[in-house]
Amino acid sequence: ALPNKVRLVEVGPRDGLQNEAGVISTEVKLELIKRLEDAGVNYIEAASFVSPKWVPQMGDAKEIMQAIKAKTDGQEGSVTYAALTPNVKGLESAIACGVKEVAVFGAASEAFSQKNINCSIEESLERFKPVMEMAKANGIRVRGYVSCVLGCPYDGEIAPEKVAEVAKALYDMGCYEISLGDTVGVGTPQKAKEMVRAVSQFVPVEKLAAHFHDTYGQALANIYAVLEEGISVVDSSVGGLGGCPYAKGAAGNVASEDVVYMLQGLGIETGIDLNKLISTGQYITSSIDRPNRSKVGLAHSA
């Protein structure tokens, strides 16, 4: 059975923009975030506290998160603003900006772990432990990502058992939700289902999220498949922006507009205003001079 409600995690300002080579001003990023809020999005991954040498586009994480803090201080927030923190240094910077929600990111593939965060899977899990402790001590919630859950650009096929092992490790160390990333967008629906079944033997399915890139045009089909398996949290990026700097050729995340359109058609509630989301996709893709990769967005601009 399909869920009645789906929670959307908007990763556009982070995953969507991290791979852009050109300078995107902090103002444009903040305007994007504001428009997403106006559209009713209640979870926005806004920045990454990673090395600016590795990912220059996220170099203004501090400015972004401070501007958000200034805006939300003293208000009971209904919107969650999150940032990636790969290590203690990243978390310290996030805490200094008043961030209340972060994410650590590991991988089910050794080669990708090395390319992305410069350490093995095991080392990454060790590195996350002090992050988890410091987060807990500061009342910060931590989401966990597993990359390459349906294939790796370097290692090829990935066993569902390996995904389950890394997801379990992140869950056991205190991540409240595990987002399963098809980083390269190579997955297909039956494989996605089998992977989710393998993971949900160790992590309750209500604690899992789907994070699918659309390189091979399979993301919506994969999302539908995993909704049938009980997943009810979906990561997406407005305008279908994005890609990972350490997964060459990987396209953007599934477009948020397309996910919301599909969910509306299925009678599944998201709390999001589709028309405002479409305008937001048009705003950001035209601001950074990128083609709009949301089919729904394109249909509405024709």
168's tokens: 């379990």
- Rounded Cα–Cα distance for residues 181 and 178 (Å): 9
Could you say which residues in the range 254-283 bind ligand HMG, by CB under 6 A? none
Considering only the stretches 34-42, 80-88, 128-136, 278-286, report the one whose residues sit in contact with ligand HMG under the rule CB under 6 A: 80-88
- CA–CA separation, 70 and 300 (whole Å): 35
51 contact choice in ligand HMG, Mg ion, none (CB below 5 to 8 Å, kind-dependent): ligand HMG
Nearer to ligand HMG, 250 or 274 (CB): 250
Residue 183 lies near ligand HMG (rule: CB under 6 A): yes
Q: Please say whether the beta carbons of 125 and 173 come within 8 A.
A: yes
CA distance 225 to 228: 5
Choosing from 15, 60, 101, 177, the residue that interacts with ligand HMG (CB under 6 A) is 15
Count the site residues for ligand HMG by CB under 6 A. Answer: 26
Q: What is the dihedral of CA 255, 261, 262, 268, to 10 degrees?
A: 120
Residue 244 a catalytic site member:
yes
55 touches ligand HMG by CB under 6 A? yes
- The count of residues in the chain is 302
CA-based nearest residue to 266, from 58, 72, 1? 1
Instruction: Indicate which of ligand HMG, Mg ion, none lies near residue 54 (CB less than 5 to 8 Å, by partner kind).
Output: ligand HMG
Chain residue whose CB lies nearest ligand HMG: 181
Q: Is residue 200 within 8 Å of residue 230, measured between CB atoms?
A: yes
Examine residue 118 and tell whether it contacts ligand HMG (CB under 6 A): yes
Q: How far is the CB of 279 from ligand HMG (least distance, A)?
A: 25
Q: Which of residues 135-164 bind ligand HMG (CB under 6 A)?
A: 145, 147
Q: Can residue 15 be called a binding residue for Mg ion (CB under 5 A)?
A: yes
3: which residues sit within 8 A by CB, 6+ positions away?
Answer: 227, 230, 231, 232, 268
Question: Which residues lie closer than 8 Å to 219 by C-beta, 6 or more apart?
Answer: 182, 185, 212, 213, 253, 254
Q: Which of 167, 244, 251, 284 binds ligand HMG (CB under 6 A)?
A: 244
Which residues contact Mg ion by CB under 5 A? Answer: 15
User: Which residues have a catalytic role annotated?
Assistant: 244
Q: Which residues bind ligand HMG (CB under 6 A)?
A: 15, 18, 48-51, 54-55, 84, 86-87, 89-90, 105, 116-118, 145, 147, 181, 183, 211, 213, 244-246
